[in-house]
Amino acid sequence: MAISSITSAQFQQEVLNSPIPVLVEFYATWCGPCKIMAPVLDEIAQAVAGKAKVVKIDVDQEQKIAGRYRVMSIPTMFVFKEGAVTAQWRGVQSKETLIQALTA
C-alpha cells in the first residue's frame, strides 16, 4: 500500500474515521530527518498493508492541523486508533518501533 499525502480537509476521513490504525507523519520537503524516514515509512506501509496505513502531512502546507497536534519539530509521528492518539514520537524512529505501535 502506498503512502498518501493528505490535507487538513482529508484528515477526519483518512485518520480519525479510519477503521484501521493509521501512522501519521508530519514532515516537510526540506527536512533532512524526514528524508531519512521516507524509505522506512515505505517499508512500513508495505508491511502493514490491509491491517494499517501510513499517511503524511506537510507542515508547511497544513499549518493548522500541525498546530492542533502541537507539532514543534519534524518529523513527528502519531499512531491513531479509532480516532485517538495511542503513540507519538519526534525524530527518526526504527521500523520495528513504529510497526509494533501500529499492530499492538
Annotated active-site residue in 1, 31, 38, 47: 31
Q: How far apart are CA 89 and CA 72, in angstroms?
A: 11
The answer to whether residue 5 is catalytic is: no
Annotated active-site residue in 6, 15, 24, 34: 34
**Half-sphere exposure for 100 (CA within 13 Å, toward CB):** 6
Sequence-ordered list of residues with C-beta below 8 angstroms from that of 10, at least 6 positions apart, any chain: none
The answer to whether residue 34 is catalytic is: yes
Q: What does the angle CA 5 – CA 24 – CA 31 come to, to the nearest 5 degrees?
A: 70
Which residue numbers are catalytic? 31, 34
